[in-house]
């Protein structure tokens, strides 16, 4: 497979010069043939126009169902930027400020402890040097741990209360440590401040205005045949075997399931394109402003300074968005300032503001050593960029 990737990169990853569709298909089909992934939906847009929108392979290997462009994928941590946008919407209404102490909105976060040392079953705790803020949560620098819900019908309030009883893992603001738990806390802040459930808030303020009709925490029974199956392949599993998203407990359509702003949404490639097009257009979608230009800028610029962040070299963090600081490796074809996010099962969504280009890759493959640095992502982006540059 490494030789395959090298060949793609050396050849510019295009079967026909300037033919974006052929380039995208040719970059992904070998991974399907080699049973690295079951199938994929890949979308490339530039300057507001969808130039390539491809569905390849199978969405269900057992039934042989072909992948379709409108299939739903568990986008996992690609959910996180919507939590960041929600906070900024509330800041524009002067209901929160990103510098607010978390305890201002969630009193259970008063008097937190910091884990100084852990030896076996013994833990040494101390008070942190300062209290955590919403900014710390947005940039994954709070040290808040992630916890699993104890039951499938745990409310977000209950889940976050459980998080509040855990010690911080490091001094606030001192380092970066990725935390879905921290984003779940932000989602609870949205609930308390807005008076709505997180699911209802994003539906009313983000999903409905953008026409993201297939994006939901609870895929309904009528759409279950469009949900792409997830598959596992790693060093212990040589063939693709069906697996389930770790954080999904119970039937997908059960609206009592735990809502996780840190990674619970299902979506489609087209729906995610709409979200990222709105961001590229400075917070406007089809003439309607959802977010101010200032908020978009704050969300998508480097906020973490020189702190080492991310899962690939050269990355930084905005407010719930990853931001390319120094393009290299899997991001070499992207411009500095490109923003986006990946998901646990290999999904990827990135918007390049310099080239006004959006890259969306939808796959359901667990077992990559690093989903953000997967060979599938690298081949797809390299192919699309090469074809667009012709």
For 65-107, what is each residue's pLDDT tens digit?
Answer: 999 999 999 999 999 999 999 999 999 999 999 999 999 999 9
Which domains are seen in the chain, by residue range?
Answer: 2-75+219-388 (3.40.710.10), 83-200 (3.40.710.10)
Confidence of residue 363 (pLDDT cuts 50, 70, 90): very high
pLDDT, position 10: 38
Check pLDDT > 80 for residue 3.
no
- The answer, yes or no, to whether residue 12 has pLDDT greater than 60, is no
Per 3-state DSSP, the chain is made up of helix, strand and coil in percentages (nearest 5) of 35, 20, 45
HSE-up of residue 30 (Cα within 13 Å, Cβ side): 20
What is the Cα–Cα distance from 62 to 252, expressed in whole angstroms?
A: 19
| String of DSSP letters for 244-257 | --TT--S-TT-TTS
Q: Which of 241, 268, 258 is nearest to 75 (CA)?
A: 268
Dihedral sign for Cα atoms in the order 79, 82, 86, 87: positive
Per the prediction, the chain carries an average pLDDT of 94
pLDDT > 70? residue 6: no
Mean pLDDT for 322-340 is 98
Q: What is the pLDDT of residue 13?
A: 41
Mean pLDDT over residues 50-65, rounded? 97
Q: Which two tokens stand for residue 367?
A: 């077992």
The predicted pLDDT at position 390 comes to 85
In DSSP notation, 198-225 reads HHHHHIIIIIHHHT-TT-BSS--GGGGG
Q: What is the pLDDT of residues 248-269, one digit of tens each?
A: 888 999 999 999 999 999 999 9
Confidence of residue 216 (pLDDT cuts 50, 70, 90): very high
The predicted pLDDT at position 15 comes to 37
* Residue 164 to residue 144: CA distance in whole angstroms: 8
Backbone angles phi, psi at 120, to 5 degrees: 60, -120
Q: State yes or no: pLDDT of 328 exceeds 60.
A: yes
pLDDT of residue 387: 96
pLDDT at 140 over 60: yes
Q: Write out pLDDT tens, residues 335-361.
A: 999 999 999 999 999 999 999 999 999
Q: What does the DSSP 8-state code read for residue 172?
A: T
């Amino acid at each position: 497979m490494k030789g395959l990737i090298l060949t793609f990169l050396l050849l510019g990853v295009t079967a026909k010069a300037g033919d974006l569709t052929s380039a995208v298909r040719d970059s992904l089909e070998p991974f399907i043939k080699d049973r690295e992934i079951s199938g994929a939906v890949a979308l490339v847009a530039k300057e507001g126009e969808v130039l390539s929108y491809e569905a390849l392979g199978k969405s269900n290997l057992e039934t042989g169902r072909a992948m379709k462009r409108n299939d739903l994928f568990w986008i996992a941590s690609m959910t996180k930027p919507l939590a960041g946008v929600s906070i900024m919407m509330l800041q524009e209404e002067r209901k929160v400020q990103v510098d607010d102490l978390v305890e201002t909105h969630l009193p259970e976060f008063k008097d937190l402890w910091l884990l100084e040392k852990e030896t076996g079953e013994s833990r040494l705790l101390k008070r942190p040097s300062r209290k955590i803020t919403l900014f710390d949560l947005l940039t994954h620098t709070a040290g808040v741990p992630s916890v699993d819900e104890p039951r499938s019908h745990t409310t977000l309030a209950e889940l976050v209360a459980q998080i509040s009883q855990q010690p911080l893992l490091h001094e606030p603001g001192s380092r970066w440590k990725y935390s879905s738990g921290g984003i779940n806390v932000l989602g609870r802040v949205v609930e308390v401040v807005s008076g709505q459930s997180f699911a209802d808030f994003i539906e009313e303020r983000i999903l409905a205005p953008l026409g993201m009709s297939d994006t939901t925490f609870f895929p309904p029974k009528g759409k279950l045949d469009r949900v792409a199956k997830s598959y596992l392949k790693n060093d212990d599993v040589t063939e693709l075997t069906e697996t389930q998203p770790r954080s999904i407990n119970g039937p997908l359509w059960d609206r009592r399931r735990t809502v996780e702003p840190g990674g619970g949404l299902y979506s489609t490639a087209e729906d995610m394109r709409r979200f990222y097009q709105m961001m590229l257009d400075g917070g406007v979608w089809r003439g309607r402003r959802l977010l101010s230009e200032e908020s978009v800028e704050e969300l998508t610029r480097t906020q973490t300074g020189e702190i080492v962040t991310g899962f690939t070299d050269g990355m930084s963090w905005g407010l719930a968005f990853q931001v390319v600081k120094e393009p290299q490796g899997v991001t070499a074809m992207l411009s500095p300032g490109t923003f986006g996010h990946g998901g646990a099962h290999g999904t990827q969504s990135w918007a390049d503001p310099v080239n006004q280009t959006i890259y969306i890759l939808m796959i359901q493959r667990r077992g990559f050593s690093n989903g953000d640095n997967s060979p599938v992502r690298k081949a797809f982006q390299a192919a699309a960029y090469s074809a667009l540059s012709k």
